[in-house]
Structure 1
């Protein structure tokens, strides 16, 4: 995360030279952004992300040697705080808007996900958001993530409405539920952690799941941006997570 004392330092990791050069050319037109290095594969990306770390890593999902998801895992293994609000803001780059990649990247700490076909403006917004410790999803990716979230919870509600125990016997008495919980919904540690949040924290978490920035959340809830940052910090602490992206992914999977 950028300290705000200088330009945003960006590393670009992509195995296609035309992509690296194109991204660099765009970013270097901005006075507040400097490209501190380019990587041609996952191992090269890890080398360029060693301390002193860049503020933002634009990371291709599919690369030779180590792919983008493996790079995220390696960074986390080396230092639990390497990726996220207090570390590198990672924006995943891909030509594929594949749900599995999106969810796994966000769960592993990525703060953004952009298609390589995203516009010039979307790229700059994503880099600046990542440097500020905020999430950034291209509109097409955000629609897929939110759509998946809605579909998932429709399925959960349908499953919870189904009987979990054997049918009542001839006397009309049921044998009792056989599932892990009487209501038919399985016990989940993530759900237990989510129940620790206050109503306002649930509001903030829901807006994080929509991909909103701190400023947008503050406007929606009619509170200060400082208040939103405090809520986000408490949410991450209570849920035992490192990044806004992880919190948003958790919300999309588990919130009723």
Structure 2
């Protein structure tokens, strides 16, 4: 199945280079481009897209607001599934990337990441997974982690989790895959997958990225 992509970046040369590189893969098809978030929303009204590669800083409407409006306009409330958003960022835009995750993005990558890493991320996001790099997660979300020893903030969603599910969430927040969590907790990968599903349901979030955001906001990580 071909993955339909939209490139949203105010720099034409970046869009052109990415389009050429991505279109070289048989399962990827760049079907739309936009110079800013406002244009992206207009394009998405008429062009079916599976994954949006979204820049952060753009004129007229930035990537954070565009991501938020994509979820509002094309999300479950509209009766259709919103395209997944993959944020392309740089280290000096950490806080912007964090805001985009809160707005509903499914992950984030550095603009200068290897092409094979970007392609793999697109495929993961299209399958409904989230892209969380352990190194970037620590750098990005570490800014928002409560000091060690801080009590976990009261949150009805967190309180729904069993002790095992809480452990799984803590490992998810560290960027571990299901296989790695299985090794850490001495469980089968299938059992971990079930626990992850329960965590997402109880936290009322769409994917792992949103679960990680909740974990950091409520102090689950580092307690």
TM-score normalized by structure 1? 0.73
Partner in structure 1 of residue 38 of structure 2: 43
Q: Which of 199, 207, 216 in structure 2 is aligned with 1:235?
A: 199
Q: Gapped runs of 5+ residues in structure 1?
A: 1-5, 161-184
Structure 2 gaps of 5+ residues are none
* Residue in structure 1 matching 2:4, options 5, 9, 13: 9
**SS of the counterpart of 2:169?**
helix
Equivalent in 180, 188, 191 of residue 223 of structure 1: 188
Q: Which residue is 1:197 aligned to? A: 161
Question: Aligned ranges for residues 65-76 of structure 1 at < 5 Å?
Answer: 65-76=60-71
Task: Kindly indicate whether residue 212 of structure 2 is the aligned counterpart of residue 248 of structure 1.
Answer: yes
Asked whether 1:18 is paired with 2:52, we answer: no
> Does the CA-based 8 Å contact 1:81-1:242 persist in structure 2?
no
Q: Tell me if structure 2 keeps the 8 A contact 1:113–1:137.
A: yes
Q: Deviations over 1:98-146 (max 9, x none)?
A: 3322321112211111121111122112111111222214565234036
Asked if the contact 1:11–1:56 (Cα under 8 Å) also holds between the matched residues in 2, the reply is yes
The RMSD of aligned alpha carbons is: 2.7
1:94 matched to 2:89? The reply is yes
Distance 1:230 1:108 in 2: 26
CA distance in structure 2 between the aligned counterparts of 1:233 and 1:16, rounded to whole angstroms:
39
Q: Is structure 2 residue 205 aligned with structure 1 residue 210?
A: no
CA contact (8 A) 2:70 2:82 kept: no
* In 2, Cα distance between equivalents of 1:67 and 1:238: 31
Higher mean displacement: 23-32 or 65-74: 23-32
Q: Equivalent residue for 1:3?
A: none
The answer (yes or no) to whether the contact 1:146–1:209 under 8 Å persists in 2 is no
* Pair member with larger Rg: 1
Report the Cα distance in structure 1 between the residues aligned to 2:46 and 2:198, rounded to whole angstroms. Answer: 27
Give the paired residue count: 216
Aligned to 1:34: 29
Moved more, 134-143 or 11-20: 134-143
SS in 2 for 1:58: strand
